[in-house]
Amino acid sequence: MDIKVLGTGCPKCRTLEKLTRDAVEELGLDANISKVEDIMEIMQYNVARTPALIVDGNVVLKGSIPSYDALKKMLS
């Protein structure tokens, strides 16, 4: 599984990255997690609001931070 957290480094973006890493670990997923802060790369995903979450190339979340349980459901 390839997971990208898109965001320029704001507190919400860092929170989503931490929650994502925690959820992947708790679920025992084999995932590569990366943080994308380059605005030009973020724009390639057609995301206007961050933070955003990309799973295997698909935008699954943009512009908000989900609850931890909702995030785990998105990833499982």
Kindly name the residue from 3, 5, 6, 13 that is annotated as catalytic: 13
Neighbouring C-beta atoms of residue 69, cutoff 10 Å:
9
Helices (H), the chain: 11-27, 39-43, 68-75
CA distance linking residue 29 with residue 10, whole number of Å: 26
10 is catalytic: yes
Catalytic residue among 1, 10, 39, 48: 10
Active site residues: 10, 13
